[in-house]
Amino acid sequence: MKKTFILLALSVCMLTAASAFDATVVSAKGKAEILKGGSWSSLAAGATVSKGDVIQTGFKSEVVLKLKETTVTVAPLTRITMEQLAEKKDKDDSKIFLDTGSLKSDIKKSENRRVGFQVRSPVATASVRGTVIAAAVTFDGMNLDTYSGTAAIWKTSGETAKLTTEEEDKAEPPAAIEGTSAQAITDDGAPKGAVTVSGGQSAAVTTTSATVSTPQQKAAAEATSLESTTVLASATETNAMAGTAPAVASTISTDAGASVVPTQGRVVVEIVVGD
Amino acid sequence: MKRFIKISAIASALLFSASAWAVEFGGLFSNESKFSGPKYNDMTLDQSDTLSAWVRVPFNKTGSSYFIAEGLYKFEQNPLLDDNADAENVSAIDVDLFKIVSQKATENGTLSFSAGRFATHDLSTMVFSQMADGALLTYDSTTIGFSVYGAYTGLLNGRTVSMISPDGNWFEKKDKVYQLAEKYAVGAAGINFPNFAANQTFALQVMDAYRLEGDTINRLYGEIQLNGPIASNFYYILNTVFNYNMSKFSDESDTSIANLSRLALSWYPGVCNMAFTLNGVYASGEQGPFESFCGFTSQTAVNLSGGNTEYSNLVKAGLTASIKPVSNLLVAASGDAVFDAVKDIKYLGVFANFSVVYQVVSDVQAGLSSYLFKGDDSIHDKAAVTASLAISF
Report the largest interatomic distance among the alpha carbons of chain A, rounded to a whole angstrom.
Answer: 87
**Single-letter code of the amino acid located at B15:** L
**Chain A residues 153-182 within an 8 A CB cutoff of chain B:** 154-155, 157
Of all residues in chain A, the one with the smallest CA distance to B65 is: A208
pTM: 0.78
Round to whole Å and give the CA distance between A251 and A170. 55
Nearest CB among A215, A241, A258 relative to B190 is that of A241
Report pLDDT for B262: 95
Residue A129's pLDDT is 64
Residues B35-77 pLDDT 10s = 888 777 777 888 899 999 999 998 887 778 899 999 999 998 8
- Chain A contact for B392, CB < 8 A? yes
* Partner A contacted by B240 (CB < 8 A): no
Q: What is the pLDDT along chain A (275 residues), one digit of tens a residue?
A: 766 666 655 555 454 444 788 999 999 999 999 999 889 999 999 999 999 999 999 989 999 999 888 888 888 888 899 999 988 888 888 889 888 877 777 777 777 777 788 888 877 777 776 565 555 556 567 777 776 667 778 777 667 777 888 888 877 777 776 766 777 777 667 777 777 777 777 777 776 666 677 888 888 888 888 877 788 888 888 777 766 666 665 444 333 333 222 222 222 333 333 22
Q: Are B231 and B265 in contact (CB under 8 A)?
A: no
Q: What is the residue-wise DSSP string for chain A?
A: -HHHHHHHHHHHHHHHHHTB--EEEEEEESSEEEEETTEEEE--TT-EE-TT-EEEE-TT-EEEEEETTEEEEE-SS-EEEEEEEEE-SSEEEEEEEEEES-EEEEE-PPTT-EEEEEEE-SSEEEEESS-EEEEEEETTEEEEEEEESEEEEEE--S----PPPHHHHHSPPPPPPPSSSHHHHTTS-SPTTPEEEETT-EEEEETT-SSPBPHHHHHHHHHH----S-S-HHHHTPEEPTTPPPP-GGG---STTS-----------EEEE--
**B27: contact with A, CB 8 A cutoff:** no
The C-alpha atoms of residue B26 and residue B195 are separated, in whole angstroms, by 38
Distance of CA B93 to the CA centre of its chain: 19
Here the ipTM equals: 0.81
Q: Determine the Cα–Cα distance for residues A103 and A65; give it in Å rounded to an integer.
A: 11
Kindly give the parts of chain B with pLDDT less than 50.
Answer: 18
User: CB of B201 within 8 A of CB of B180?
Assistant: no
Interface contact flag, A234 B140, Cβ < 8 Å: no
pLDDT in the model for residue B241: 96
B289 preceded by a cis bond (ω within 30 of 0): no
CB contacts, 8 Å: A246 with chain B: 227, 237
How far, in Å, are A69, A222, B188, B290 from residue A127 at the CA level? 17, 23, 38, 50
Of A244, A246, A252, the CB nearest to B332: A252
- Give the model's pLDDT for residue A265: 25
Compare all CA atoms of chain B with the CA of A198 and give the residue at the minimum distance: B232
**CB contact B364 to A (< 8 Å):** yes
- Cβ B195–A193 below 8 Å, yes or no? yes
Collect all residues of chain A within an 8 Å Cβ-Cβ radius of residue B264. 248, 250
pLDDT of residue A258: 31
Q: What is the pLDDT of residue B168?
A: 66
A7 at B interface, C-beta within 8 A: no
φ, ψ for residue B23, nearest 5 deg: -65, 130
Cross-chain CB nearest to B123 (options A220, A241, A254) = A241
In sequence order, the 6+-apart residues with CB closer than 8 A to the CB of B122 are A241, B128, B129, B188, B205, B207, B221, B223, B241
For testing contact with chain A, the best of B102, B106, B142, B274 (most A CBs within 10 A): B142
Asked if residues A138 and A128 have their Cβ atoms less than 8 Å apart, the reply is no
Q: Which H or E run includes B10? A: helix B2-17
Chain B hits for A237, CB-CB cut-off 8 Å, are 68, 97, 99, 118-119
Strand partners of residue B334: B320, B353
Q: Rounded to the nearest 10 degrees, how much is the dihedral formed by the CA atoms of A12, A16, A18, A20?
A: -170
Please indicate if any CB of chain B lies within 8 Å of the CB of A210.
yes
Write down the pLDDT at residue A16. Answer: 46
Q: Report the alpha-carbon distance of residue A254 to residue A16 in Å, rounded.
A: 64
Determine the Cα–Cα distance for residues A265 and A101; give it in Å rounded to an integer. Answer: 11
Rounded CA separation B159/A121 (Å): 48
- Whether residues A242 and B145 touch (CB distance < 8 A) is answered with yes
**CB-CB contact of B248 with B275 (8 Å):** no
Q: Which of A244, A260, A264 to mutate to test the interface with B (most CBs of B within 10 A)?
A: A244
pLDDT of residue A139: 57
Partner-chain contact A241 B274, CB within 8 Å: no
